[in-house]
Structure 1
Amino acid sequence: MHMDIVEIRSFYDSLLGRMVARSIGMGLTRIWQSLPNERLLGLGYARPWLDLFEPDTERTFSFMLAAQGAVKWPREGLSRSALVFDEELPLPDSAIDRILMVHALEHSENPRETLMEAWRVLAPNGRLILVVPNRRGLWARFEHTPFGTGRPFSKGQLVRLLRDCNFTPGPMTEALLYPPVTRSSLLRIAVQTERIGLRLWPLFAGVIVMEAQKRLYQGLPVAARQSRRVFVPVLAPQG
């Protein structure tokens, strides 16, 4: 089960959603290293954080999953968003320097193929940053947020999956150290709770934020995809 694009956008427009975007943004800045003339791709629903990093890039794109839907990004000017399949990105090899993947891997039918496709489009030594629900955290247990849907991961599972897909895991941090409450009175102390939680109970964070680097020196077996997908317009006649 997953939320569609309308539900995800509505969540991030809420008070809780704005606090989530701030907390994850703080986590990203702890491990984010600026790259000169960077080509950045947001895969999944990365809109709240693309605005944060886009001014320092050469170009930035927002690719949203076909199963969820897509909305325009940025809000002003020409759109740089597209509706895609995560296993077949419409990009040539080595086209992107960094991928920020949010609300994507946990909803993938085949996480390995999704990561292998990310490996294909990343430039040599390109970087992938994953934001995924933590299997041990509270947020994966409540379905009123996007982190309560899909497949949560533990740190060990994420590291093994990245290594299997020819990535070298790198810096890692946590975010969402407070419970997924909606009452404004409790959210007022969310920032303080986040700071305390990073020191005292990081194992129970809501999300894991992990960077990995594309590895080049290991050969990969070629495997046929299980299926090929095509887009069908929503208003096209059926049957």
Structure 2
Amino acid sequence: MSLDVVDLRTFYTGPLGAVARRLLGRAIRARWSNVTSLAVLGVGYATPYLDLFSGEAERVIAVMPAAQGVVNWPSGGLSAAALCDLDMMPLADASVDRVLLVHALEIGESPREILSEMWRILTPGGRLILVAPNRRGLWARMDTTPFGFGQPFSRGQLTTVLREALFSPVHWAEALYVPPIPRRTFLRSAATWERVGATLALPFAGVHMIEATKTLYRPVAIRQTRRVGATQMRPVLVPAPRLTRGEGMASLAPVHTASLD
């Protein structure tokens, strides 16, 4: 199920969206503390987190899926947002250093094709951060937030789809342990929920956050060589008996000769 860009923007302007932006933004920035002279691409609806890199990265671009819609970003200056199909992006090969996927994989028709396209546009050694709803978390069970739409994932499912798209996970984390209830009691204690949940590794975090690097080699399938046993080998020609002197040179004769009547 696709999300509408208006609903996404409304969520992030509300109190619960502000908490999600703060907690996830802190975790993302901890992984990418320095993006100087790098090209950063946000895919899905990543604009609430791209402001972290504005003014530091060489360029920051936001790409949103066609079914979702697009909003102008940043609010001031020239727009750096575009609308396109996530599995067929108008970017050159190896043209981006960092890719941030938020609200993208869970609503895509083919997660593997989306990640394969990210692999194509990433530079050698490029990195990707994927934020996806946790199947066991409360945020995926409530449709009052964008993380409650689409397909949630387990850690094993994300590992499989990343490796199929030739990515190697290098860091795993969970976030949004606070219940998705817009009450002041929960909102004020969100940092405490996050600290306790991460310390105890509780299983009900709202989202998975995985950092992966681009693998530069493609696996080659190993074929089993079939060897034919010696008993199955049948010679076509065998040497004829040696001729006596004067009868000519030795020649090869068939094993079986046909008689002519």
Q: Which residue of 2 aligns with 1:31?
A: 31
Q: Which residue of 1 aligns with 2:181?
A: 181
The alignment's TM-score, normalised by the length of structure 1, stands at 0.89
Number of aligned positions between the proteins: 221
Q: Which residue of 1 aligns with 2:242?
A: none
Which gives a bigger RCO, structure 1 or 2 (Cα 8 Å, sep 6+)?
1
TM-superposed deviation, 1:175: 0.8
Structure 2: which amino acid aligns with 1:190?
A
Q: Which residue of 1 aligns with 2:230?
A: none
Q: Which residue of 2 aligns with 1:164?
A: 164
Give the match's secondary structure for 2:52: helix
Task: Note if contact 2:178-2:186 (Cα within 8 Å) is conserved in structure 1.
Answer: no
Structure 2: which amino acid aligns with 1:216?
L
Match runs of 1:1-239 below 5 Å: 1-218=1-218
Tell me the distance in 2 between the aligned counterparts of 1:201 and 1:33.
24
Give the match's secondary structure for 1:19: helix
TM-superposed deviation, 1:55: 2.3
Larger of the two Rg values belongs to structure: 2
Tell me the distance in 2 between the aligned counterparts of 1:112 and 1:195.
32
Tell me the distance in 2 between the aligned counterparts of 1:70 and 1:172.
29
Tell me the distance in 2 between the aligned counterparts of 1:60 and 1:186.
33
Name stretches of at least 5 consecutive residues in structure 1 with no aligned partner. Answer: 222-239
TM-superposed deviation, 1:219: 5.1
Tell me the distance in 2 between the aligned counterparts of 1:189 and 1:156.
30
TM-aligned CA distance change 1:138 to 1:220, over 3 Å: farther
Structure 1: which amino acid aligns with 2:104?
A
String of CA shifts for 1:144-167, please: whole Å, max 9, x gaps.
100000111111111111111111
Q: Which residue of 2 aligns with 1:231?
A: none
Give the match's secondary structure for 2:55: helix
Decide which structure has greater helix share: 1
Give the match's secondary structure for 1:42: strand
Q: Which moved more, 1:102-111 or 1:181-190?
A: 181-190
The alignment's TM-score, normalised by the length of structure 2, stands at 0.81
Tell me the distance in 1 between the aligned counterparts of 2:190 and 2:75.
28
Tell me the distance in 2 between the aligned counterparts of 1:169 and 1:189.
31
Tell me the distance in 2 between the aligned counterparts of 1:193 and 1:84.
37
Tell me the distance in 2 between the aligned counterparts of 1:102 and 1:38.
19
Tell me the distance in 1 between the aligned counterparts of 2:119 and 2:103.
18
Tell me the distance in 1 between the aligned counterparts of 2:35 and 2:26.
18
Give the match's secondary structure for 1:186: helix
Give the match's secondary structure for 2:43: strand
Identity of aligned residues (%): 49
String of CA shifts for 1:29-81, please: whole Å, max 9, x gaps.
23224244100000000111100122220001000111110001101000000
String of CA shifts for 1:8-45, please: whole Å, max 9, x gaps.
00000000100010011122123224244100000000
TM-superposed deviation, 1:220: 8.1
